[in-house]
Amino acid sequence: METGKPLLRLLLLYTITVSVLVISPTCAGAPLQYSTMFVFGDSLVDDGNNNYLSSLAKANYLPYGVDFFGGPSGRFCNGKTIIDFLGELLGLPYLPPYVNTIGNDRSILRGVNFASAAAGILDVSGSQLGDRFTLNQQIANFENTVNQLKNPMEEKELREFLAKSLVVMNIGSNDYLNNYLLPSIYPTSSIYNPREFADLLIRNYTAQILMLHGLGVRKFLIGAVGPLGCMPNQIARVDPPPPPGKCVTDVNELVSLFNTRLVSLVDQLNSRISILGAVFVYGNTFDLFTSILNRAESYGFKVVDRGCCGIGRNRGQITCLPLAFPCLNRDEYVFWDAFHPTQAFNKIIAQRVYSGPTSDCYPMNLHQMAQL
- Give yes or no for a cis peptide into 240 (omega within 30° of 0): yes
* CA distances to 97, 139, 192, 208, 310 from 134, in Å: 15, 9, 21, 11, 26
Question: Which residue type occupies 93?
Answer: P
Catalytic residues: 43, 337, 340
Q: Residue 12 CB: number of other CB atoms within 10 A?
A: 10
Closest CA to 353 of 258, 280, 282, 270: 282
24, 87 in Cβ contact below 8 A? no
C-alpha span between 171 and 118 (Å, rounded): 10
C-alpha span between 138 and 141 (Å, rounded): 5
Closest CA to 177 of 221, 135, 117: 117
* CA distances to 90, 190, 199, 229 from 128, in Å: 36, 18, 23, 21
Q: Residue 7 CB: number of other CB atoms within 10 A?
A: 12
C-alpha span between 299 and 347 (Å, rounded): 11
User: Helix-strand-coil percent breakdown of the chain, rounded to 5?
Assistant: 45, 10, 45
C-alpha span between 96 and 87 (Å, rounded): 12
